[in-house]
Structure 1
Amino acid sequence: MFDWLIVGAGFAGSVLAERLASQRGERVLVIDRRHHVGGNAYDRLDEAGILIHQYGPHIFHTNADSVVDYLSQFTAWRPYEHRVLAMADGMLVPIPINLDTINRLYGLSLTSDELAAWFAARAEPIAEIRTSEDVVVSAIGRELYEKFFRGYTRKQWGLDPSELDRQVTARVPTRTNRDDRYFTDTFQAMPAQGYTRMFERMLAHPNISVMTNADFGSLREFIPHRRLIYTGAIDEYFGLRFGRLPYRSLRFVHTTLDTDRHQPVAVVNYPQSEAYTRITEYKHLTGQAHPQTSLTYEYPSAEGDPYYPVPTQENQALFKRYERLALAQPDVWFVGRLATYRYYNMDQIVGQALATYRRIDAQLGRSSASLPRPARPLYTAPQPTVP
């Protein structure tokens, strides 16, 4: 009999497993239908010996010191600030759009103040910002919307931005200065030995058992457990009772080239051309020294593993029907992207999992199996050289 069965070995499931095992002294079984832990953040050495992210680039960034402190128990960090270029009108320019983007595209020499006025002159007034198209057009005008957002969004989501909730394009800012960092969070870094090694350390507690290649639907009646944490797709938990929640998926094509570098930054977006949305070159992220380089091409798809909830009003209404069922489940907690049908960054998932643990701890009180809580030192191993 396990105290907890946790479905999913990604950030949400792994953080909760570690907290329940180390802080409450309870026995936890973590299962995952894939062959590995780490969820979509899983990384591995490819055939060339280059560390790649199996499911596309995962860049860790946060403003939450508590999240950094928690994860630092299981990894050292390699400082890294993410920069992205977009291929637009045949040239590589910074994205998010900034002062250099506009000056290069249009052969101008605007200042920051002049760029703000330039944007304002092209912006289209919109009474109510409802869609992703509204967000962009009302801020910087239709021409830049067409160059950078419409084609990319249609590839990524299979829908026009006018059909998507405003949150999709609102995530990408527009700047009037020369800051070319993709994120501006106070902490930006990569796990020094990779994400998978971090997850392995997180799940190494003697109270935690891990079972991969394990499907919850097939095993749920055969694993004795007192309580359940579910991080999978909420509609699947309920047998698709109200129909399937739509997701966008991705197809990844990994390749290795006999050259030291392929592109000037880790990620190049293709908003105007190509069937793929972006190319990632991992050595920029990891700092690995290797005579070859490995890339991933991302092709959005309607079929495959669920990655991105599709943000429309209809889909949110369908999720709410499942959420009402979830709230009525005794001794079951639904946590994470798939279980709450919402896109979260990695740090947000960690924060959500830590907050869920605190609620569980308060709700259940001290477990009879509780152990004392010695302070756990931060992991301070020296930064390794990835083989």
Structure 2
Amino acid sequence: MKKYDYVIVGGGLFGGVMAWYARQNGKTCLVIEKRKQLGGNIYCENMEGIPVHRYGAHIFHTSNKKVWQFVNNLAEFNRFTNCPVANYRGEMYNMPFNMNTFSKMWGVSTPEEARAKIDAQRAGITGEPANLEEQAISLVGTDIYEKLIKGYTEKQWGRDCRDLPSFIIKRLPVRYTYDNNYFNDPYQGIPIGGYNVITEKLFEGCDVMLETDYLADRDRFNAMGGRVIYTGTIDAYFGYCYGKLEYRSLRFEDDIYDTDNFQGVAVVNHTAREVPYTRTIEHKHFDCTVDYRTNPKTVVTREYPVAWEAGMEPYYPVNDEKNQSLYQRYAELGKKEDKVLFGGRLAEYRYYDMDKVIESAMEKAEEEFGNLE
């Protein structure tokens, strides 16, 4: 049996960053991945010559210069800026909520007019918001809530906004400027040609076992490594001894159209409750360094939120008090596993943006290997 310094369970971004730093420090790694390919949710599939974000739109953004330098050492990034639009029954609104949104919704033209509209509509909520609906109205008023938040949120979570806790929406971005840049972060972009080049660099030099379930033969795999980096669901690792954590999942449907431009933007949010999907993603708009107008076809993916069941991909943790309390019990068990390092969105039961996954992995790598400079 071949021995490794590290057995890395999961071929996603957290496992990849840990593998990269391990290899930089002369360590050997075995990567065990349940899917048919490495990359986790950043995996891209080529369709009609277009890099398709297989598991939903992934736009890299960060305020951390160290993280930005790290990913740019792995791949060349384009200048992509996320400027999604919302479709409410055929009415198109810019996001995040800004003066373009307010002008379209109310016919206002100045920040003062927009503030007056929102303040008047917020006044109906007094005291501490009792649910998500009241929380959202207290932040942005009734019109924006009804058209751009309510239906989308209810589809995302599979329940009425009045039945969702208020803390799910702690704040909503409201800008009194004509600025459609969704993220405030100074560093934004997408790797030219997609994310697979980053995945290849991160796992370079590692031995890899695909379509393999670590938990199905845990003892054998543990015996192969001096240390285990586990990025799967933490409740599964402990055999669901306290019960199962809850998630929401996603289903994706692709369509190929005989047109060079289907919706004019990479991401459209569909906010009406009666539309079953939450987003349509036109992937060719992600790579603005290539003139895809020369490609007469386009790939559009519809994103459907679904209830998570065993065997499905867990995308979004249900961060209510019950699940957070349950996770904390599993986290305490994890602290007792001296040989195992738990990390990433599933092991930490957190919804991480990509830069935060990398930040977390860098912190863990520094604990493992010392100064990363």
- Taking structure 2 as the reference length, the TM-score comes to 0.92
Point out where structure 1 has 5 or more consecutive residues left out of the alignment: 366-372, 376-387
Map of 2:346 onto structure 1: 338
Task: Please tell me whether the aligned partners of residues 97 and 174 of structure 1 are also in contact (alpha carbons under 8 angstroms).
Answer: yes
The equivalent residue for 1:324 is: 332
Alignment partner of 2:210 out of 212, 219, 225? 212
Equivalent residue pairs, number: 360
Mapped to 2, the partners of 1:57 and 1:264 lie a distance apart of 16
Deviation at 1:89, TM superposition (A): 4.5
Deviations 1:140-170 (A, max 9, x none): 2233212111111110111233444545434
Corresponding residue for residue 383 of structure 1: none
Task: Specify whether residues 318 and 126 from structure 1 end up closer, same or farther in structure 2 by C-alpha distance, changes over 3 A only.
Answer: farther
Residue in 2 aligned with 1:258?
258
Q: Could you say which residue in structure 1 is the equivalent of 2:282?
A: 281
Cα drift, residue 131 of structure 1: 4.5
Determine the C-alpha separation between the residues in 2 that align with 1:84 and 1:170. 21
Shift of 1:129: 5.0
1:294-337 superposed Cα distances (whole Å, 9 cap, x missing partner): 01000111132100001211111111111111111112111011
**TM-align CA RMSD:** 1.8
Contact 1:132 / 1:170 at 8 angstroms: preserved in 2? no
Measured after TM superposition, the shift of residue 102 of structure 1 is 2.0
Deviates more, 1:70-79 or 1:167-176: 167-176
User: Who is 2:17 aligned against?
Assistant: 15
Instruction: Provide the rounded CA distance (Å) in 1 between the counterparts of 2:333 and 2:130.
Output: 29
Shift, 1:182, TM fit: 1.4
In structure 1, distance between residues paired with 2:171 and 2:18: 27
Cα deviations across residues 227-276 of structure 1 (Å, max 9, x unaligned)? Answer: 11111111110111111111000000011100000012111111114100
Instruction: Please report the TM-score for the alignment, with normalisation by the length of structure 1.
Output: 0.89
Q: Deviations over 1:47-100 (max 9, x none)?
A: x22210111110101111000111122101111001111112431111222112
Q: 1:230 to 1:300 in 2, by over 3 A?
A: same
Summarize the Cα distance change of 1:209–1:281 in structure 2 as closer, same or farther, 3 Å threshold.
same
Deviation at 1:361, TM superposition (A): 2.3
Cα pair 2:345 2:352 within 8 Å, conserved: yes
Cα distance in structure 2, aligned partners of 1:114 and 1:143: 15
Report the Cα offset of residue 201 of structure 1: 1.5
Q: 1:385: which partner in 2? A: none
Change (3 A) 1:131 1:229: farther
| Contact map agreement 2:234 2:347 (CA 8 A) in 1 | yes
**Residue identity opposite 2:185 in structure 1:** D
| Cross-structure match for 1:3 | 5
Instruction: Return the offset for 1:125.
Output: 3.8
Which whole-Å CA distance do the structure 2 matches of 1:126 and 1:317 have between them?
29
Q: Which residue of 2 aligns with 1:43?
A: 44
The answer for the alignment partner of 1:127 in structure 2 is 127
Aligned to 1:202: 202
CA distance in 2, matches of 1:34, 1:172: 35
Confirm or deny: 8 A CA contact 1:75 1:192 kept in the other structure.
yes
Contact 2:13–2:39 (8 Å) recurs in 1: yes
For 1:73, give the aligned amino acid. Answer: N
Give the distance between the partners of 1:131 and 1:329, measured in 2 at CA: 38
Map 1:146-295; keep pairs closer than 5 Å.
Answer: 146-166=146-166, 168-170=168-170, 172-204=172-204, 206=205, 208-223=206-221, 224-272=224-272, 273-287=274-288, 288=290, 289=292, 290-295=295-300
Q: Distance in 2 between matches of 1:59 and 1:133?
A: 28
Kept in 2: contact 1:126–1:134 (CA 8 A): no
Residues 165, 311 of structure 1: 8 Å contact kept: no
Aligned partner of residue 339 in structure 1, secondary structure: coil
How many angstroms apart in 2 are the aligned matches of 1:232 and 1:130? 34
1:248–1:33 Cα change, 3 Å: same
Partners in 2 of 1:57 and 1:129 — Cα distance? 32
- In 1: Cα distance, 2:134 partner to 2:27 partner: 50
- Separation in 2, partners of 1:351, 1:213: 28
3-state SS of 1:192 partner: coil
Residue 30 of structure 2 aligns to a residue whose secondary structure is strand
- Find the counterpart in structure 2 of residue 300 from structure 1: 305
**Any conservation in 1 of the 2:248–2:307 contact (CA below 8 Å)?**
yes
- 1:382 maps to none
- Write the distance in 2 (CA, Å) between the matches of 1:10 and 1:171: 29
For the pair 1:25 / 2:33, whether they are aligned, the reply is: no
> Percent same amino acid at aligned positions?
37
Compare 136-145 and 25-34 and name the one that shifted more.
136-145
Q: CA deviation at 1:26?
A: 1.1
Structure 2 residue 308 is the aligned partner of structure 1 residue 309: no
Contact 1:75 1:193 in 2 (8 A): no
Residue 203 to residue 348, structure 1, CA distance change in 2 (3 Å): same
One-letter amino acid matched to 1:332: V
**SS state at 1:77 partner:** coil
Please say if residues 3 and 27 of structure 1, whose CA atoms lie closer than 8 Å, have aligned partners that are also in contact.
yes
Counterparts of residues 361-376 of structure 1 (less than 5 Å): 361-362=369-370
SS in structure 2 at match of 1:348? helix
> In structure 2, what is the Cα distance between the partners aligned to 1:189 and 1:103?
28
How far residue 187 of structure 1 moved from its aligned partner, in angstroms, is 0.5
| C-alpha spacing 1:4/1:283, structure 2 compared with 1 (3 Å) | same
CA distance in 2, matches of 1:167, 1:357: 32
Quickly say closer, same or farther: Cα 1:132–1:358, change in 2 above 3 A: farther
Letter in 1 for 2:42: A
> Separation in 2 of the partners of 1:143 and 1:120?
12
Q: Compared with structure 1, are the counterparts of its residues 333 and 163 closer, same or farther at alpha carbon in structure 2 (3 Å cutoff)?
A: farther
